[in-house]
């Protein structure tokens, strides 16, 4: 084989294997989560933190779901409905404010809350707990209580 053809084949092989190696390296970074695409642009983790700031799950908790539940229950027992609503996620407050208006339903609802709740699971910014209605022996259903951590690190109730 002529020398120029050998040189050309070696160059083409080097380009091919170099390109394939680069693609495997990029795929490895993507699989590890070090590189990701968002709206057609590729970012590293460091670039994403600089551009988008900390996410909710990166914020340290300033309270616990258990503390929020206890404060919520105590506010309701004192008939401090607005204080209880402040412990809920803002987009749920109006819905529960309307539910609190029926005095008889409200009183029956508050009586069934036990002093503590049972943890189902806690993820980075979501938590699920439940309680059993101790006031009614016929009601053995687990009633869910759902929490979400806001961007300031405070847990809030978004379903009870």
What pLDDT is stored for residue 107 in this prediction?
Answer: 85
DSSP bridge pairs for 121: 128
Q: What is the largest CA-CA distance in the chain?
A: 98
Q: How far apart are CA 129 and CA 112, in angstroms?
A: 15
- Classify strands 126-132 and 142-149 as parallel, antiparallel or unpaired: antiparallel
Domain residue limits, the chain: 3-53, 65-159
**Topology adopted by domain 65-159:** Nuclear Transport Factor 2; Chain: A, (3.10.450)
Cα–Cα–Cα angle for 75, 114, 88, rounded to 5 degrees: 40
* Total residues belonging to the chain: 160
Q: Return mean pLDDT, the chain.
A: 86
Query: pTM for the complete prediction?
Result: 0.63
**Residues 39-60: pLDDT tens digits?**
888 888 888 888 777 665 678 8
96-108 residue pLDDT tens: 999 889 888 888 8
Half-sphere exposure of 80 (CA within 13 A, CB side): 10
Share of the chain above pLDDT 90, in %: 37
Asked if residue 157 lies in contact with residue 146, where contact means CB atoms within 8 angstroms, the answer is yes
Question: Do 72 and 84 contact (CB within 8 A), yes or no?
Answer: yes
């Amino acid at each position: 084989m002529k020398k120029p053809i050998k040189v050309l084949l070696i160059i083409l092989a080097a380009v091919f294997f170099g390109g394939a190696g680069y693609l495997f390296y990029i795929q490895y970074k993507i699989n590890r989560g070090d590189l990701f695409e968002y709206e057609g642009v590729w970012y590293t983790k460091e670039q994403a933190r600089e551009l988008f700031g900390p996410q909710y799950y990166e914020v340290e908790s300033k309270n616990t779901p258990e503390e929020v539940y206890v404060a919520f229950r105590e506010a309701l027992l004192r008939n401090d409905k607005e204080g209880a609503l402040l412990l809920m996620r803002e987009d749920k407050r109006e819905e529960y404010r309307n539910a609190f208006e029926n005095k008889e339903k409200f009183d029956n609802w508050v009586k069934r809350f036990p002093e503590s709740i049972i943890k189902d699971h806690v993820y980075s910014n979501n938590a699920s707990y439940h309680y059993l209605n101790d006031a009614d022996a016929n009601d053995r259903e687990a009633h869910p209580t759902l929490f979400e951590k806001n961007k300031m690190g405070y847990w809030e109730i978004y379903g009870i």
